[in-house]
Amino acid sequence: MAGLERQANENHKNVVVVVVPFPAQGHLNQLLHLSRLISAYNIHVHYVATTTHCQQATIRVHGWNPLLTSHLIHFHEVPTPAFSSPPPNPHASLKFPSHLQPSFDAALLLREPVAALVSLLSPSARRVIVIHDSFIPSVIQDVVSIPNVEAYSFQPISTFWIACNYSEIVGKPLPIDDDVARKLPRKGTTMTSEMTELVNRQKRYHKYRSGVLFDTCRAIEGPFLDVLAKVNAKQWAIGPFNPVEISTKSTEQRHSCLEWLDNQAPDSVIYVSFGTTTTLTNEQIHSLAIGLENSGQKFVWVLRDADKGDIFTGNSRVCQLPKGYEERIGIKGQGIILRDWAPQLDILAHVSTGGFMSHCGWNSCMESMTMGVPMATWPMHSDQPHNALLVTKVLKIGVVVKDWACSESSEELVESLTIEKAIKELMASKEGEEIRRRAVQLGTAVKRSVAEGGDSRREFDDFITHICRFHHRSNL
């Protein structure tokens, strides 16, 4: 954020922040982006995760270079615990990455390292602020009794999801119409019972938080922020966390896919990626490949298996395409296939990218909305069906590929004709032009929110002022 140096003053001295992410890529990434934003106020940030997940977060970050802020962002690598993590199962009845559950459970072991670090920092700090992922509030239970320590919960999901899932707490009516309400997923259909149990066990520790942070802004979720304000004594909507201005011009380390995009017409390419926790069957990959080709649309497709518990060990499954497919679309110049990590922010920011076929993870949604790129929604699990509804039915900046409400199961095959029609609607129709117009308008509003005087910028300044105040914390 330009001009943040002016915000650094005497109040910031001896205030330190400890950040504790949940060990999944979308969570690691958001809190690393948040660390960058906090450090811009000349505040030291300590990022605590296992060695594996610290390395995963830093090598995959895009839009900025952590090395440039190394004097303010400190990585604390906790030894990675030994656990057995099976490979992702493309034929699982629920697309939730149950193979990562051992890694998720091991995150609770961060409790002792967090307590040790905070105890070390506390004597020399005026105040220690611990920002923890809302999935693992138990990791801060040993430090909240220290007089100069405060804990804040970071919600890595949309406020739309929270308001809908906790309607009995936030009260009704919710600011949604009947059509949206009818399409809301039934509880218990988007996550495994093991993950639901982990989340439920953690709820009792939310009492330790002094406030809640959201990676969103009023331009995107104003009505739902108003709903949650009724139950949160202190909350700040300070998103987007990801950088909003991305240079896609030539650099020495520029990804090859950006060079291909340079040669395409503006808004002509659909970017296809389903994040780090989705594993498709060979049959579904084949159907998607045919749908993309038959649409006649240019595309960049990230085709890779879901992350393992440790992305640095073992071999990953090589996803199979129809015979001769990659060569055929290459000869036609229709598209490129990426089989490794892709610079998503760079791709979405490129002038040639006109659409994003996505699983609708909140990280991807925020990046797409920031860059003004409309979406073709294909939710897989967790909060993704809610996010897809927000995109298509509330904000009206996307089209449906897979309608969760009409699917009998998350593993139901999406036919190539359905995929083809969705792409054409988004990229080559009058309806698509109107969707694109709204997406661009929203992107402009989102960028304006983090600029000087914008809603998110004011809330971020307010949060920094709050944690750097001189008086003692109040009983919130």
Active site residues: 27, 133
Secondary structure (DSSP) of 132-166: EETT-GGGGTTTTTSTTEEEEEEE-S-HHHHHHHT
Residues in the chain: 476
| Number of continuous H segments (helices) and E segments (strands) in the chain | 18, 13
Residue 47's φ and ψ, nearest 5 degrees, are -100, 115
Tell me how far apart the alpha carbons of residues 388 and 379 are, in angstroms, rounded to a whole number: 6
CA angle 418, 423, 429 (to 5 degrees): 115
Please give the span between the terminal C-alpha atoms of the chain, in angstroms, as a whole number.
Answer: 30
Residues ≥6 apart with Cβ < 8 Å to 258: 248, 343, 346, 347, 350
The crossing angle, in degrees rounded to 10, of helices 218-228 and 455-467 is 50
Long-range contacts made by residues 465-473, C-beta under 8 angstroms, separation at least 24? 465/11, 466/211, 466/234, 467/15, 467/17, 467/127, 467/129, 467/150, 467/152, 468/11, 468/12, 468/15, 468/43, 468/127, 469/11, 470/11, 472/147, 473/150, 473/210
Tokens representing residue 274 in the block: 């389903």
Q: Amino acid identity of 13?
A: K
Backbone angles phi, psi at 94, to 5 degrees: -130, 135
Q: How far apart (Å, rounded) are the C-alpha atoms in residues 38 and 18?
A: 11
Distance CA 360, CA 18 (A): 28
Q: What whole-number distance in Å separates Cα of residue 393 and Cα of residue 196? A: 26
